[in-house]
Structure 1
Amino acid sequence: MLLRRLTFLAAFGAPLAFAPVAGAGTYEVYSCWAGSDTFRNPAANGSAWAKRSDPGERFSAFDQCGASDNGFGVISVSGYQAPNGAFGELSFTAPAGTRIERVRFWRTAWSYGSGSGGESQRNYLYTLADGAVTGRGDIFDGSSDVPPGMAGSEDVAYHGLIPANVLDYDVSSSTPASVTYRVGCGFAAGCPTGDSRTNFAAGVKIYGAITTLRDSSDPEESVAPTGLLAAGTHRGVEPVRVSAAGDNSGIKRLAVYADEATSPVGVVDFERNRDKCAWWQAVPCQNVTDVDVQVDTRRVSDGTHRFVVRAYDAAENVRAFVSEPVTVKNGTDAKPDSFGTPVPARGPVNGTPASDRAILTATFARNHRAALRLAFRRRAVVAGRLVDEAGAPIAGAQVGVAARSVAGGGPDAPVGTATTGPDGRFRTPLGARGPSRVLVISYFSHVGDDAPTATRELRLSVAAGVRLAPHPRHVHNGQAVTFAGSLLGRPLPATGKLIEMQVKIGHRWHTFATTRARGRRGRFRYRYRFMRTYERVTYRFRALARADGAYPWATGASRTVPVRVN
Structure 2
Amino acid sequence: MKVDNTAPAAVPLAVEGGEGWRSRDGFNLLWANQPEPDRAPITAATYRLCRVGAGECSTGTLGGEGVSEIPDLTVPAPGEWEARMWRTDAAGNVQPENASLPVRLRYDPEPPKIGFEGQNPADPTRVSVAVSDPISGVAGGGIELSRAGSGIWQALPTALESESHLVTRIEDATLPAGEYELRADASDRAGNLATTTERTDGQPERLTLPLRATTSLAAGLLERHKIAKTVRRHGKRHKVKHTVTELLPSRTVDFGTGVRFQGSLSDGGGGPVAGATVLVFSHPPEEEETQVATLTTGAEGGFEYAEKAKRSSNLRFVYQGTATSLPTEAHAEVLVHGGSTLKVSKAHVLNGQSVVFSGKVEGSPRPAAGKLVELQVLLAEEWSTFETTRTDPGGEWSIRYPFKRSCGKELFIFRPDVPGEASWPLLPGTGPRVKVHVRGRPCPG
TM-score category of the 2 structures, normalised to the smaller one: 0.5 to 0.7
What percentage of aligned pairs have identical amino acids?
Answer: 25
TM-score (norm 2): 0.52
- What letter matches 1:362 in structure 2? A
Q: CA deviation at 1:484?
A: 1.4
Which residue does 2:205 correspond to in 1? 318
Is contact 2:212–2:324 with CA below 8 Å preserved after alignment? Answer: no
Pairing partner for 2:426 from 522, 538, 553? 553
Which residue does 2:262 correspond to in 1? 383
1:361 aligned to 2:361?
Answer: no
Which residue does 2:276 correspond to in 1? 397
TM-score (norm 1): 0.42
1:456 aligned to 2:333?
Answer: no
Q: Give the Cα–Cα distance (whole angstroms) in 2 for the partners of residues 456 and 384 of structure 1.
A: 9
- Deviation digits for residues 186-210 of structure 1 (CA, Å, limit 9, x no counterpart): xxxxxxxxxxxxxxxxxxxxxxxxx
Q: Give the Cα–Cα distance (whole angstroms) in 2 for the partners of residues 441 and 448 of structure 1.
A: 20
- What letter matches 1:269 in structure 2? I
Q: Give the Cα–Cα distance (whole angstroms) in 2 for the partners of residues 293 and 509 of structure 1.
A: 78
Cα gap change, 1:462 to 1:230, in 2 (>3 Å): farther
Q: CA deviation at 1:268?
A: 4.8
Which residue does 1:516 correspond to in 2? 390
Q: CA deviation at 1:549?
A: 2.2
- Deviation digits for residues 370-403 of structure 1 (CA, Å, limit 9, x no counterpart): 1122222222111112111111111111112110
Q: Give the Cα–Cα distance (whole angstroms) in 2 for the partners of residues 379 and 493 of structure 1.
A: 25
- Deviation digits for residues 60-93 of structure 1 (CA, Å, limit 9, x no counterpart): xxxxxxxxxxxxxxxxxxxxxxxxxxxxxxxxxx
Cα gap change, 1:359 to 1:533, in 2 (>3 Å): same
Q: Give the Cα–Cα distance (whole angstroms) in 2 for the partners of residues 532 and 232 of structure 1.
A: 102
Cα gap change, 1:408 to 1:472, in 2 (>3 Å): same
- Deviation digits for residues 14-62 of structure 1 (CA, Å, limit 9, x no counterpart): xxxxxxxxxxxxxxxxxxxxxxxxxxxxxxxxxxxxxxxxxxxxxxxxx
1:533 aligned to 2:406?
Answer: yes
Cα gap change, 1:500 to 1:245, in 2 (>3 Å): closer
Q: CA deviation at 1:501?
A: 0.7
Q: Give the Cα–Cα distance (whole angstroms) in 2 for the partners of residues 293 and 260 of structure 1.
A: 11
Q: Give the Cα–Cα distance (whole angstroms) in 1 for the partners of residues 404 and 323 of structure 2.
A: 70
Q: Give the Cα–Cα distance (whole angstroms) in 1 for the partners of residues 145 and 154 of structure 2.
A: 13
- Deviation digits for residues 241-291 of structure 1 (CA, Å, limit 9, x no counterpart): 358967426768866786999xx6621535344xxx444xxx787x899x9
Cα gap change, 1:557 to 1:500, in 2 (>3 Å): same
Q: Give the Cα–Cα distance (whole angstroms) in 2 for the partners of residues 243 and 356 of structure 1.
A: 23
Is contact 1:469–1:561 with CA below 8 Å preserved after alignment? Answer: yes
Which residue does 1:496 correspond to in 2? 370
Q: Give the Cα–Cα distance (whole angstroms) in 1 for the partners of residues 146 and 337 of structure 2.
A: 56
Cα gap change, 1:528 to 1:317, in 2 (>3 Å): farther
What does residue range 266-277 of structure 1 map to in structure 2 within 5 Å? 266-273=167-174, 277=175
1:467 aligned to 2:354?
Answer: no
Give the superposed CA RMSD. 4.1
Which residue does 1:445 correspond to in 2? 321
Tell me the secondary structure at the aligned position of residue 248 of structure 2. coil
- What letter matches 1:472 in structure 2? K
Is contact 2:411–2:436 with CA below 8 Å preserved after alignment? Answer: yes
Which residue does 2:286 correspond to in 1? 408
Pairing partner for 1:427 from 304, 320, 330? 304
Q: Give the Cα–Cα distance (whole angstroms) in 1 for the partners of residues 145 and 316 of structure 2.
A: 39
Is contact 1:437–1:461 with CA below 8 Å preserved after alignment? Answer: yes
Q: CA deviation at 1:230?
A: 11
Tell me the secondary structure at the aligned position of residue 342 of structure 2. strand
Q: CA deviation at 1:559?
A: 0.9
Pairing partner for 1:241 from 137, 142, 149? 142
Q: Give the Cα–Cα distance (whole angstroms) in 2 for the partners of residues 244 and 487 of structure 1.
A: 56
What does residue range 139-178 of structure 1 map to in structure 2 within 5 Å? none
- Deviation digits for residues 207-248 of structure 1 (CA, Å, limit 9, x no counterpart): xxxxxxxxxxxxxxxx9x9xx9797457xxx64135896742
Cα gap change, 1:447 to 1:550, in 2 (>3 Å): farther
- What letter matches 1:428 in structure 2? Y
Q: Give the Cα–Cα distance (whole angstroms) in 1 for the partners of residues 135 and 186 of structure 2.
A: 18
Q: Give the Cα–Cα distance (whole angstroms) in 2 for the partners of residues 293 and 546 of structure 1.
A: 65
Q: Give the Cα–Cα distance (whole angstroms) in 2 for the partners of residues 532 and 231 of structure 1.
A: 105
Is contact 2:414–2:435 with CA below 8 Å preserved after alignment? Answer: yes
> Which protein has the bigger strand share?
2
Q: Give the Cα–Cα distance (whole angstroms) in 1 for the partners of residues 373 and 179 of structure 2.
A: 54
- Deviation digits for residues 485-525 of structure 1 (CA, Å, limit 9, x no counterpart): 11131111111111111111243322122111121x11111
Q: CA deviation at 1:433?
A: 6.0
Q: CA deviation at 1:564?
A: 1.0
- Higher normalized contact order (CA 8 Å, seq sep 6+, divided by chain length): 1
Cα gap change, 1:319 to 1:502, in 2 (>3 Å): closer
- Deviation digits for residues 123-142 of structure 1 (CA, Å, limit 9, x no counterpart): xxxxxxxxxxxxxxxxxxxx
Structure with the greater alpha carbon radius of gyration? 2
1:417 aligned to 2:274?
Answer: no
Q: Give the Cα–Cα distance (whole angstroms) in 1 for the partners of residues 323 and 409 of structure 2.
A: 70
Q: Give the Cα–Cα distance (whole angstroms) in 1 for the partners of residues 418 and 367 of structure 2.
A: 13
Tell me the secondary structure at the aligned position of residue 366 of structure 2. coil
Q: Give the Cα–Cα distance (whole angstroms) in 1 for the partners of residues 369 and 360 of structure 2.
A: 15
Q: Give the Cα–Cα distance (whole angstroms) in 2 for the partners of residues 447 and 500 of structure 1.
A: 56
Cα gap change, 1:394 to 1:515, in 2 (>3 Å): same
Cα gap change, 1:396 to 1:469, in 2 (>3 Å): same
Q: CA deviation at 1:534?
A: 0.8
Is contact 1:492–1:522 with CA below 8 Å preserved after alignment? Answer: yes
- Deviation digits for residues 408-440 of structure 1 (CA, Å, limit 9, x no counterpart): 142x2111122222222222223x264111100
Cα gap change, 1:241 to 1:359, in 2 (>3 Å): closer
Cα gap change, 1:497 to 1:447, in 2 (>3 Å): farther
Is contact 1:484–1:526 with CA below 8 Å preserved after alignment? Answer: yes
Gaps of 5+ in 2: 1-128, 188-193, 224-245, 440-445
- Deviation digits for residues 290-329 of structure 1 (CA, Å, limit 9, x no counterpart): x9999xxxxxxxxxxxx997789xxx96169xxxxxxxxx
- What letter matches 1:509 in structure 2? W
